[in-house]
Amino acid sequence: MIKKSLSFLLAAAMIFTLAGTPSVSARTKAEKEAGFAAKVKANVAKLGVGKNARIAVKLRDKTKLAGYISQTGEGSFVVTDLKTGANTEVPYPQVAAAKGQNLSTGAIIAISAAVAVGVTLLVLFLLALAYSD
């Protein structure tokens, strides 16, 4: 008897708990596209502007662009082709995929420091060989 009562109370508690919570619905296509456009915008902003901010973009209409980001705006960015110098304005929602290449400041400093240490060690090694004779 006690087991039946506890089972009934537990089932009733679960029903009332689930009835009070809002249902989880999937995001609409427009919401997904807006979210992806926001990610693209953030990544483009992270790459920066200039000849070192290289990017390869595939648009929703299957067009492919490659070059560097020469200008960014609220709703679009401009890709400049390295070979021809042609500018193409790309709205963020039209981007299907984007891949950027840019070294961060920390990476540039680390590479420079490693080169400096290597050159210093090479010079010391050559000096040691010269004075050992």
**Model confidence at 65, in pLDDT bands (50, 70, 90)?**
very high
Confidence of residue 10 (pLDDT cuts 50, 70, 90): low
**Residue 4 predicted with pLDDT over 60:** yes
The reply to whether 35 and 45 lie within a common domain is yes
Which of 47, 66, 58, 69 is closest to 96 using CA atoms? 58
State mean pLDDT over 41-47: 86
Residue 94 lies in a domain: yes
For residues 32-42, average pLDDT: 86
Residue-level pLDDT at 125: 85
47: in domain: yes
Residues 41 and 96 in one domain: yes
Is the pLDDT reported for residue 6 higher than 80?
A: no
Q: Is there a domain that residue 71 lies in?
A: yes
Residue spans of beta strands (DSSP E) within 81-126: 87-91, 95-101
- Structural domains counted in the chain: 2
Q: What is the CATH number of the domain that holds 86?
A: 2.30.30.100
Kindly report the backbone phi and psi dihedral angles of residue 84, in degrees, each rounded to the nearest multiple of 5, phi listed first: -95, -25
Is 20 part of a structural domain of the chain? Answer: no
Secondary structure letter of residue 52 according to DSSP: T
15 belongs to a structural domain: no
Q: Is residue 127 part of a domain?
A: yes
The pLDDT confidence band at residue 20, using thresholds 50, 70 and 90, is low
